[in-house]
Structure 1
């Protein structure tokens, strides 16, 4: 390799560090064989740099690229287009190493590294990832600074310091642009599914599905209320309803699925919807929700949502949904009321909510018919059903397995042990067998209030199922939760308190189960981090929803002139500070020796000061003639300066000795009179 094109040693080190740092966030995203390819490419380039190997033939490079393309095409079967696209970018990024001969090739690699740092935010938007990306930017910029350095300049750490200072100087302008620059929506939509697994409710529910969520302590969503928090026993977070039963599992019927598809295709509606007359004693709550990715279209809201964003759609069963599955954390504002809601059902709707398989669970049907004969109205029927659940049933996360056929009969008359899903499923079957329209509702119950910021955190282990029945007398839907009589503490305590002795509770989150993150000190740290993370999403990731209101408070009327002034004035201030810093730095002495010479110049008269083009040795020779009494000192200074500047093994005490001699000479110079001030320089 020609020295003209060979990168400096420090540049190669920073280049390899940059490659490793840029690729690290994609370990769990792109196929693992890409990292094997990266290690091979880096190793080959190191051997080329050391002169042991030559660059691979162009045919080898083309063959490897074709194999990579074939592998990425095969990945499309179980990965998203975005993941494969990023994988292709990474493959080109590492394969460029095998032909990096000129310095401009290194520049191409570094420019792609900047692009990969930006792409990492497509998959991660957390605070640690933002800090890591900033560090990666500093490292890549440091490498960019070393590309054109000579072979003799091998200072490794100086480029990193320069890069860090550069980003600190750019920070004020970055903040100004972040606050003021308008957000532009994406020009296209891409599938952002990175292959990650999501936890939460699905579009079907069979016995044991909800109880499995209690194994996880992952956050489902957070909510901040503008009003006082609702009581613990009224925090029912509606997700979706299940209205079709096949004898064992509940799922969303074709009717609701069709409504969902039609709602997604419909035009945006105003931000408020009317569901009917609410009960007079119902209370309205206003709150904001930050929801974690679920891979599903529905969104969670407290009890009965009344007001929701225009991008949402609400279908017949009050389920809120968006057009696209939730692949990234999102924020939205809702207004909900807790209480019964009046809704007149058509004959077709009543028949729909009475649907049951033609056969199966005969004992449960007979029990419902007997209760109908004993009770005169719906309230009496529901009271008898709740009394039945309260007698001999036990609430547990590990109920015995039920048979495929007649699972409700087996639960009601044999095992009598189950979780919320078992009770809600059995309750709806009994109600429908009695001719009362009903449906299963899936969501969450409760939430942990963070004392740091007052945000309610709802985790996966608080997943819950209950039922709703329609009363033909008042034409209203009423919530009914059998858990309230089987395990009353579930409505008064958190799930963590109630299930602490269950072996399967938090089985997938052992740090939480064993109390490691629940201790007083670590719990406070966890709560503080969650509070910071919540504000990070509201004010950074979701700033576009608050930008207009914030700017309006600052500027009044938002106009082009006001925005330009707000950008230009702080920008001018930042540039002025940078200019002042550069001017001060240019006029400052570079080291202690130059500072000492400047001090000596100040002690001399204008005629005796160092002249333009005069060397330091000539300067001291002239001073020796002008001040004979200080000849020895000036000769010592001349020898000392030559050793400081030109000696191979510098004595670290010489600069201090040089400075001390000048400090001792200055008072003597002020007292003495020069003998030969007019003699020209030697």
Structure 2
């Protein structure tokens, strides 16, 4: 027999299931080589448990620890501190398996498993993840139960049932605390830069950057309007602007915050206002997306002079905010410094493009005539594609305009801004998104990465206003009328990283409906979670009238006490003593024989009872002998096999069926 402190077979099985479930969510977070460590440690522990290998020598464990530390130090150069911290926790969790022999070692592993379940919410906050973590908690608790079970307790599923019952009993108290207990700020600050690979625009832009985003179907943000939606060709979601050009890449300079009141007086009031809420995914950047052009925004955000919305900190987790926007030209008298900034070009390079711009400016004086000439030029021989030829050297604009003539929106916006500046017209490139997929189930627009877009803005000295100009409207006018998914469906690189969307698997009638329902549910969940603090405060005010510490404590203690009393009652207050299943089966046979006057006598043991019945009913003597043997094994043997109890009940049923009542 194994020592009491040694792990049993069922404990080892549940322990390995717990390790698998706890570490699975970190597959996309921690370095990949940690899963090689997982295969090594779990495999070694299985071989030890089967008796084929011994536990690794302390020197081997020391080498593994040093290799892990070196690997994490190497990852620290490119990863975030939070990811490295969680990776260290996962590594320690796995290395502990190589010396796990006693119950106390298993307890350490399981306690770390509970901590890892909590840490998974730093990286994932979806509905499926919440249910997955709850299931992981049930499994880990079941494993805790098996650690203290003896070797004779071989029922592998009973701990899972007990664990599920425990969590069902704890559910009412959890709901009371969740609804009533007020949200508190953190006692300390944690760097939530998880190191995830954010997909989206960056603070610099080259012509091919935007086209790379069309490989992904990840959602950038969701928007829900209070009233009418803007037309399809007016859904320009501004992210950030680029005003510096080095010959190949556009970048942005630091801008000052613009006062809201001064901008409001410069808008044309003839245009319609749009009120909406945005749930934005993490980007790791400070800017926030909004419909061009934002009028009203939260106090936690600021609007720069180029109409870019900016938060106080980089966005490391999902957030929600409300905006009011108007799609209209913005009147802004440019000071000398701003005027020169929007005319900046490298001193040399792209000479053919400069000469073309100067010729147009001399032939067609006026900003409107120049832009019309430029759009006519783009509409003539240019092709809109996701896979344009590569542009090399510092004369990339010349190569695009006079040689390749194939490009994506970034190519046209960059070349257009260059031509405008070369002609003495202030211009800037704007990066953001165009469009959005309407979900009819909740009325929200889902804007995905493949809808990334770039356009330009030019400043007209006649009305002192910025005007939007999108060369895509003449090169590929369907881009403004159709979704990007419809327009680029034939492009090989479109949705290359999202093959389920690329192949149309999620676009079929049934699967699309399921996808839309899930996205609507997910969007509602995110909005509810993000707004829960406000909803909770309103609920407490309605319930208490005035929120105070005393009233909140009473509100927690009274329902909490009632829940605990109900749980205690279900545990300790029963209608009667729980009867043994064997006794119930014997009682049924005794009741069946009572009409014949052959019931069990007072003081008669079950063995004597079955022996007497075997003599009275010779045809059933084998069954009664088996009943006697089964009863003795169940009652007195160390191994109480559930199959024996089932066999005992089946024999009782057979005897009751074959013995007539009279």
Aligned to 2:226: 226
- Equivalent of 2:263, from 268, 275, 295? 275
Aligned to 1:383: 372
Cα deviation, residue 598, structure 1: 9.6
Is the Cα–Cα contact under 8 Å of residues 276 and 343 in structure 1 kept in the other structure? no
Is the Cα–Cα contact under 8 Å of residues 341 and 478 in structure 1 kept in the other structure? yes
Cα deviation, residue 350, structure 1: 0.9
Cα deviation, residue 57, structure 1: 4.7
Map of 1:71-82 to 2, 5 A cutoff?
71-82=71-82
Cα deviation, residue 64, structure 1: 3.7
Aligned to 1:589: 579
Aligned to 1:536: 525
Aligned to 2:641: none
Query: Per-residue displacement from partner, 1:124-147 (whole Å, max 9, x unpaired)?
Result: 222232222222111110010111
- Measured in 1, the distance between the counterparts of 2:12 and 2:50 equals 11
- Measured in 2, the distance between the counterparts of 1:476 and 1:320 equals 19
Map of 1:9-408 to 2, 5 A cutoff?
9-50=9-50, 54-58=54-58, 60-253=60-253, 255-256=254-255, 275-277=263-265, 278-375=267-364, 377-408=366-397
Aligned to 1:645: 631
- Measured in 2, the distance between the counterparts of 1:301 and 1:434 equals 31
- Measured in 1, the distance between the counterparts of 2:294 and 2:368 equals 25
| Secondary structure of residue in 1 paired with 2:373 | helix
- Measured in 1, the distance between the counterparts of 2:348 and 2:536 equals 58
| Secondary structure of residue in 2 paired with 1:27 | helix
Is the Cα–Cα contact under 8 Å of residues 436 and 470 in structure 1 kept in the other structure? yes
- Measured in 1, the distance between the counterparts of 2:325 and 2:77 equals 41
- Measured in 1, the distance between the counterparts of 2:90 and 2:574 equals 44
195-204 vs 162-171, which deviates more? 195-204
Aligned to 1:674: none
Aligned to 1:513: 502
| Secondary structure of residue in 1 paired with 2:214 | helix
Going from structure 1 to structure 2, the CA distance change for 1:660 and 1:114 (only over 3 Å counts) comes to same
| Secondary structure of residue in 1 paired with 2:574 | helix
- Measured in 1, the distance between the counterparts of 2:501 and 2:516 equals 13
Cα deviation, residue 541, structure 1: 6.1
| Secondary structure of residue in 2 paired with 1:215 | coil
Is the Cα–Cα contact under 8 Å of residues 399 and 418 in structure 1 kept in the other structure? yes
| Secondary structure of residue in 2 paired with 1:248 | coil
Query: Scaled by the length of structure 2, what TM-score is found?
Result: 0.86
- Measured in 2, the distance between the counterparts of 1:371 and 1:616 equals 117
Cα deviation, residue 17, structure 1: 1.8
Going from structure 1 to structure 2, the CA distance change for 1:658 and 1:538 (only over 3 Å counts) comes to farther
Q: Is 2:480 aligned against 1:494?
A: no
- Measured in 1, the distance between the counterparts of 2:280 and 2:368 equals 36
Cα deviation, residue 587, structure 1: 3.7
| Secondary structure of residue in 1 paired with 2:430 | strand
Count of residue pairs the alignment pairs up:
638
Cα deviation, residue 573, structure 1: 4.1
Going from structure 1 to structure 2, the CA distance change for 1:456 and 1:64 (only over 3 Å counts) comes to same
Query: Scaled by the length of structure 1, what TM-score is found?
Result: 0.83
Going from structure 1 to structure 2, the CA distance change for 1:402 and 1:150 (only over 3 Å counts) comes to closer
- Measured in 1, the distance between the counterparts of 2:84 and 2:650 equals 61
- Measured in 1, the distance between the counterparts of 2:397 and 2:442 equals 44
Aligned to 1:678: none
Gaps of 5+ in 1: 264-268, 625-630, 666-682
CA RMSD of aligned residues (A): 3.7
Cα deviation, residue 21, structure 1: 1.9
- Equivalent of 2:450, from 458, 461, 471? 461
- Measured in 2, the distance between the counterparts of 1:312 and 1:610 equals 85
Cα deviation, residue 299, structure 1: 1.6
299-308 vs 21-30, which deviates more? 21-30
Going from structure 1 to structure 2, the CA distance change for 1:653 and 1:463 (only over 3 Å counts) comes to closer
- Measured in 1, the distance between the counterparts of 2:427 and 2:335 equals 14
Is the Cα–Cα contact under 8 Å of residues 616 and 638 in structure 1 kept in the other structure? no
| Secondary structure of residue in 2 paired with 1:457 | strand
Aligned to 2:8: 8
- Equivalent of 1:656, from 653, 656, 661? 653
| Secondary structure of residue in 2 paired with 1:289 | strand
Aligned to 2:638: none
- Measured in 1, the distance between the counterparts of 2:282 and 2:66 equals 35
Going from structure 1 to structure 2, the CA distance change for 1:432 and 1:647 (only over 3 Å counts) comes to closer
Cα deviation, residue 562, structure 1: 4.5
Query: Per-residue displacement from partner, 1:308-355 (whole Å, max 9, x unpaired)?
Result: 233323322222223443333332222222212222321111111111
- Measured in 2, the distance between the counterparts of 1:402 and 1:586 equals 85
122-131 vs 544-553, which deviates more? 544-553
- Measured in 2, the distance between the counterparts of 1:575 and 1:176 equals 11
- Measured in 1, the distance between the counterparts of 2:202 and 2:283 equals 9
- Measured in 2, the distance between the counterparts of 1:405 and 1:102 equals 67
Is the Cα–Cα contact under 8 Å of residues 218 and 459 in structure 1 kept in the other structure? yes
| Secondary structure of residue in 2 paired with 1:327 | coil
- Measured in 2, the distance between the counterparts of 1:130 and 1:600 equals 52
Query: Per-residue displacement from partner, 1:76-106 (whole Å, max 9, x unpaired)?
Result: 1222222221222222222323333432222
Going from structure 1 to structure 2, the CA distance change for 1:568 and 1:655 (only over 3 Å counts) comes to farther
Is the Cα–Cα contact under 8 Å of residues 248 and 394 in structure 2 kept in the other structure? yes
Map of 1:480-491 to 2, 5 A cutoff?
480-491=469-480
- Measured in 1, the distance between the counterparts of 2:576 and 2:527 equals 44
Is the Cα–Cα contact under 8 Å of residues 600 and 662 in structure 1 kept in the other structure? no
